[in-house]
């Protein structure tokens, strides 16, 4: 992220943002650093005023509107603000220029749930306006909530770039099938394409598989099925698996 803003230089290769070099792209980017400080002795309003002047094209009304939505107090000096209230100033300065691209590093850190909700509304508006948000987070529920496409970084390398929808599709599915009477021979299911694991427990058979569900459905249909419960992996397990795969 720092490289995309020209704060760090690539040791090899080059970075482009919005089809241009990183330094000229900055005018079109709003950035929230993951870990930042502001001028302690200035008020929130003064800090935002300074950033607005550096950017050159931000109206006061825009700042005021964002401050109201995020419930930011702009009159107090920064040194008196809590982490969450400083974070609000960081968010306002990132959003206020209505940039084509928002780069947000851990944006909800320190925000209370209500403000998080307002922040997500803001994100939705930005997305609806056709603008792009590049958001970094360690909180998977946050990723699950806001992301369309995800990139997973593992030890500084891109492990995967994919849509969240597709990642959910490739998640291992786990079906618990309850049969009327004793469950059938697990071997019958183990031989099916895509099946990873089969556990038998009395009338219950748990089948874990990837990809097409059809073979499992057809095989189960040969026996009297009483109930079928679907236990898909959640996103966290998908990611854990992605990380584990990289270790091999």
Partner 1 sequence: MTRAALGLELRLRARSVALAGIGLMTVAAITGALFPAFGESLGKVELPEGVGELLGGGDFATIAGWLDTEIASVYGPLVVAGSAIAAAAATLAGEEERRILALVLAHPVSRTRLLLAKAAGIALEVAALGIACWLGLLLSVALAGGGIGPGRLAALAVHLAFLALAFGALALALGGVTGRRAVAAGGAAAVAVAMYLVNGLAPVTADWLQYLSLFHYYAGHEPLRNGVDPGHLAVLGAVTAVLLGVAAAGFRGRDLRG
User: What residues line the site for partner 1 (CB under 8 A)?
Assistant: 2, 5-9, 23, 26-27, 29, 31, 33, 35-39, 41-42, 50-51, 53-56, 90, 93
Residues 189 and 205: beta-carbon distance below 8 Å: yes
Burial of 185 (0-12, 13-18, 19+ CB in 10 A): exposed
Burial of 34 (0-12, 13-18, 19+ CB in 10 A): middle
Residues 91 and 61: beta-carbon distance below 8 Å: no
Q: How many CB atoms lie within 10 A of CB 15?
A: 14
Q: Which is nearer to partner 1, 105 or 233 (CB)?
A: 105
Q: Which is nearer to partner 1, 96 or 126 (CB)?
A: 96
Place of tokens 């939505």: 69
Phi and psi at residue 38, to the nearest 5°? -125, 175
Q: Which is nearer to partner 1, 63 or 150 (CB)?
A: 63
| Smallest separation, CB 161 to partner 1 (Å) | 24
Q: Which is nearer to partner 1, 8 or 114 (CB)?
A: 8
Q: Which is nearer to partner 1, 3 or 225 (CB)?
A: 3
| Smallest separation, CB 247 to partner 1 (Å) | 29
What b/e sequence results for 143-172 when a residue is b if at least 16 CB atoms lie within 10 Å of its CB, and e otherwise? beebbeebebeeeeeeebebebeebeeebb
| Smallest separation, CB 9 to partner 1 (Å) | 6
The residues, ordered by sequence, that sit 6+ positions from 75 with a Cβ below 8 Å of its Cβ are 43, 44, 45
| Smallest separation, CB 114 to partner 1 (Å) | 25
Q: How many CB atoms lie within 10 A of CB 245?
A: 11
Q: Which is nearer to partner 1, 24 or 163 (CB)?
A: 24
Residues 136 and 34: beta-carbon distance below 8 Å: yes
Q: Cα–Cα distance between 96 and 52 in angstroms, integer?
A: 8
Q: Which is nearer to partner 1, 3 or 65 (CB)?
A: 3
């Amino acid at each position: 992220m720092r490289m995309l803003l020209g704060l760090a230089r690539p040791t090899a290769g080059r970075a482009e943002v919005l089809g241009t070099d990183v330094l000229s792209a900055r005018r079109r980017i709003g950035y929230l650093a993951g870990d930042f400080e502001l001028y302690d002795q200035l008020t929130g309003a003064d800090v935002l005023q300074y950033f607005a002047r550096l950017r050159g094209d931000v109206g006061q009304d825009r700042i005021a509107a964002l401050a109201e939505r995020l419930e930011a107090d702009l009159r107090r000096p920064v040194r008196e603000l809590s982490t969450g209230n400083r974070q609000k100033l960081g968010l306002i300065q990132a959003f206020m220029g209505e940039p084509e691209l928002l780069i947000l590093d851990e944006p909800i850190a320190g925000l209370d749930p209500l403000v998080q909700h307002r922040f997500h509304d803001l994100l939705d508006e930005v997305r609806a306006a056709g603008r792009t948000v590049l958001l970094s987070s360690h909180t998977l529920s946050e990723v699950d909530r806001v992301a369309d496409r995800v990139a997973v970084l593992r030890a500084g390398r891109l492990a995967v770039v994919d849509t969240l929808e597709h990642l959910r599709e490739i998640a291992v599915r786990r079906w618990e099938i309850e049969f009327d009477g004793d469950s059938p021979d697990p071997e019958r299911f183990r031989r099916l394409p895509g099946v990873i694991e089969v556990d038998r427990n009395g009338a219950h058979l748990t089948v874990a598989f990837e990809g097409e569900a059809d073979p499992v459905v057809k095989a189960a249909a040969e026996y009297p099925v009483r109930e079928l419960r679907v236990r898909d992996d959640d996103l966290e397990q998908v990611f854990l698996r992605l990380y584990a795969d990289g270790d091999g």
